Chains A and B, each alone.
Chain A
Amino acid sequence: MHELKMKYQGKKMAPAFNAFHTFLYSPNDTTHAGGTHVKGADDLKRTMNTVIMALVPILLFSMFNAGYQHFSAINGFPENFSVMEHFLTWDNFWIGIVKVLPLVVISYGIGLVVEFIFAVIKGHEVEEGYLVTGMLVPLIVPVDTPLWMLAVAVVFGVVIGKEVFGGTGMNILNPALTIRAFLFFAYPTWMSGDKVWVHGAVDLAGGPDAISGETVLGFLAQNKEFQYSVSDMFFGFIPGSVGETSAFLCLLGGLFLIFSKIASWRIMVSAVIGSLVMGLIFNQVVDLGWIGETSKFYGLMSFDFWKHLIVGGLAFGIVYMATDPVTGAQTNRGKWIYGFLIGFISVMIRVFNPAYPEGVFLAILLMNVFAPTIDHYVVRGNVNRRMKRLKNAVILPKDSDSKAEELKAETV
């Protein structure tokens, strides 16, 4: 392996080959003169790998849930639900293998091919950014997304969302969300509605065995009743995008990322606060009687403010999407503002968007665009402090200044 690396050194395919090599071995590079001679243990691969580790439980859960939702929609939900008997079954997992795993394979396969092509063309190393993106993508799409659609979206997302800006670390929009947004706007009839969230619902639609795949938010947007309990919603036994349903696992993943110091706790905490504040405002509007039960917003507005966090993709978005360091705010104070607005706007879009009752990905994309602006003003604050200090600066004359003046006086 090491010999092959040497053989390819300096050739066009070197980046592609090096990517495989560093996947197996951490490199033998030593620190060069003129820098620190020792370096910390972490590299970008380790950082990305930590995020993936936090996503693995969610992927496993989602594979079981895909099957659970499928069979429950056909046969009705079990009456005395037990996790071992009804959820962690081989039948459920098999649906996960045939439906969820291909999404993962397509996402990684297509995405990495695009990354490698760009790395070879531009002659830079293959950077690790896509390792996380490739895992996030299958978790935020509906389970019945056709694979060709996903492939088209991944190509679009990686090229337009990331590579045109210069690759990992340079992009403005979160690539995973760019992919999700592309799917949503390119195939709106497919991507919204009540069919795509449960495997089989699309195929069976219109027939005598038609099943419903409506999400909790979908029910609420139509002011309909739903049968899920709070614990169902918290633990994630509900329909929705593949990996977004379990707020419980998102919470665990979030705690792990905060503990390992990989993701920003500032963004997570402030986003939770932001969504609670917006939820409270809407609850207050209902309590004050400003809108009646006939209003089309009634269902979502009267939804208890804290429950927003356990349905839909809000928890997943806050933990895994909003905390993307490249597209998020980069200053600590900026992170508070950025996170708060994500939570706030997510819930707002949820309530007011008539076509599609989910606003998290739109809110995060919107704040991605504004993150540099937020940072700009935070940094200006620092600059202004420095400018203020400048007024009291002690600028002492140089020795040569006084000599120059003497000379000048003589010539006059």
Chain B
Amino acid sequence: MSKDIRIKKGLNINLVGAAEHTISKAVLSNVYALNLNDFHGITPKMLLKEGAEVKAGEALFYNKNNEDMHFVSPVSGELIEIERGARRRILTLKILADKEQTYVDHGSFDFGKASSTEIKAFLLKGGCWPFIKQRPYDIVANPDATPKAIFVSGYATAPLAADPDFALQGKEQELQAALTALGKLTPGKVHVSIGKSSNSVLAGLSGIEVHKVSGPHPAGLVGTQINKIDPINKGEVVWTVSPQDLVIMGELLLTGKFNAERIVALAGSSVKAPKYYKTKIGTEIATFLYASGVNGENFRVINGDVLTGAKSSQDGYLGFYNNTVTAIPEGDDYELFGWNKPIFNKVSSTRALTFSWLQPKKKYDLTTNTNGEHRAFVVTGQYEAVFPMDIFPMQLLKACMVKDLDEMEQLGLYEVAPEDFSLTEFICISKQPHQQIIREGLDLLYQEIG
């Protein structure tokens, strides 16, 4: 029996520059990079030295707290640079790709008969483990734990995010393999959500519980869905995987090879011809960004969507978890009397001389301007209007700011990830950095209790 989810609270942010449903093959990148900031909370230990030859799927480094957890190279080539930051922290690893790609072959693996320990060991060794994230704390899952359930969101509501229905076409086999294997890791269910009227390939798979989701953003965020299906309590663990990562995981299980290929949506108003590209994790974004053409010079490239993505440079690399790259204009200019004149060209959740409520379908061309300065929390009741979880958002944020561990626990910090606060951050009149506050709160809680 599937349980459908309908969200009423929320806000859809419609932006100009949605990716057109055509897939082009991106030019092969010379250099591929792994940004270690993508793996929050992992202390890396290098396995290879600079200059070493690697195959695609060969381990580059492991997690200091768990030697079995390998992080692998997306391509074969030469490890040309280990970029380090303050206190010799490793920031990025760069690999110069070979012309002929060679893969590490982990051999065939009968995951249908394997035990959960064997599956875990295979995923850890094969480099697919980091795709599994856990809540609480929103970090790479601890393989030692047993989750009460696993959640996959096959429905994207974030502005300009890649459409999973489109990007997953023809990947039934891989998805089924990955979901079957994951199903063995939990005594609970594997919950998969799809859009209400979607033709997603996920709907036809077996061994999972399908939920049909409808409503405005953040209906597509996995955190919202967990909260509505089976909320997390203190002490419980759930795992989440995004569907495009299931494809890579499935291919590893079926063929024994780590194939970093991924369909990426290039979107945003600074892109002339936004569409989908077939490329690999860690590729130079420039390999497909300029193929589509850009408007102007002064724009920002974002690894991910505009609400949760990471700022990248124009010569940056595709992140480990990202299937969307967005480019929008920078808004670093002043606006005369910007605070009191009527606004027609920006999105707002109020009607204070802002008119986005008149045309809910209109598409906007937003810039990165903050539209105001940072202030203390003043207005109340606005976050609640776009926050569908049974949690008091402002009280939880304040608990994180004052580092009150008891309050944080009691108000439900275990249930949330920073991305769940992206919409409240967007509408925040006081321009507070909600996601950062939640991230710091989660890190503190993990440090003290986790």
Contact = CB atoms under 8 A, between A and B. Distances in A.
Interface of A: 2, 22, 24-47, 49-50, 125, 127-129, 166-170, 259-262, 264, 266, 325-326, 328, 330-332, 335, 379, 382-383, 385-387, 389-390, 392-400
B346 A168 contact: no
Interface in B136-177: 143-148, 159
Contacts of A44: 372-373, 375, 378-379, 429-430
Interface in B350-389: 350-354, 356, 366-382, 384
A323 B123 CA distance: 55
Contacts of A167: 376
Contacts of B373: 22, 27, 29, 43-44, 125
B375 A393 contact: no
A49 B187 CA distance: 56
A379 B391 CA distance: 9
B338 interface: yes
A405 to B, nearest CB: 14
Interface stretch (B98-106, B277-285, B299-307): B299-307
Contact of A330 (B15, B231, B380, B428): B380
Contact of B426 (A40, A332, A382, A393): A40
Contacts, number: 248
Given A2-B334, A28-B369, A260-B352, A35 B425 contact: yes
B146 A39 contact: no
A396 B410 contact: no
B403 interface: no
A40 B369 contact: no
Contacts of B412: 382, 386
Nearest to A258: B351
Contact of A382 (B331, B374, B390, B431): B390
A50 B353 contact: yes
Interface stretch (B45-53, B83-91, B233-241, B250-258): B233-241
Nearest to A390: B233
Contact of A26 (B334, B377, B392): B334
A259 B13 CA distance: 21
Interface in B1-59: 13, 15
Interface stretch (B72-80, B201-209, B308-316): B308-316
Residue of A35, A125, A169 with most partner-chain B CB within 10 A: A35
Contact of B366 (A26, A38, A260): A38
Contact of A40 (B147, B347, B378): B347
A36 B411 contact: no
A47 B378 contact: yes
B233 A389 contact: yes
A379 B411 contact: yes
B436 interface: yes
B259 interface: no
Given A38-B328, A379-B395, A386-B412, A29 B146 contact: no
Contacts of B340: 45-46, 49
B433 A34 contact: yes
A45 B343 CA distance: 14
Nearest to A394: B148
Contacts of B382: 261
A379 B146 CA distance: 31
25 contacts: A29-B370, A35-B436, A36-B422, A36-B425, A38-B159, A38-B347, A38-B368, A39-B370, A40-B426, A41-B348, A42-B352, A43-B371, A45-B339, A45-B340, A45-B372, A260-B350, A261-B349, A325-B381, A330-B394, A330-B395, A332-B381, A383-B410, A386-B412, A394-B148, A396-B147
Nearest to A395: B235
B328 A169 contact: no
B297 interface: no
A264 B379 CA distance: 10
B433 A326 contact: no
Nearest to B437: A35
A325 B394 CA distance: 13
Given A42-B350, A262-B352, A326-B378, A396 B335 contact: no
B411 A382 contact: yes
Nearest to B145: A398
A167 B378 CA distance: 11
A29 B308 CA distance: 19
B108 interface: no
A27 B310 contact: no
A42 B145 contact: no
Contacts of B356: 41
Contacts of A2: 334
B311 A37 contact: yes
A331 B391 CA distance: 11
A46 B431 CA distance: 13
Given A27-B370, A27-B373, A44-B429, A395 B339 contact: no
Given A29-B370, A399-B144, A261 B351 contact: yes
Nearest to B364: A38
B381 A49 contact: no
B310 A46 contact: no
A28 B306 contact: no
Contacts of B394: 330
Nearest to A389: B233
B443 interface: no
B330 interface: yes
A396 B144 contact: no
B38 to A, nearest CB: 13
B146 A399 contact: yes
Given A30-B370, A325-B379, A390-B234, A40 B145 contact: no
B144 A398 contact: yes
B213 to A, nearest CB: 22
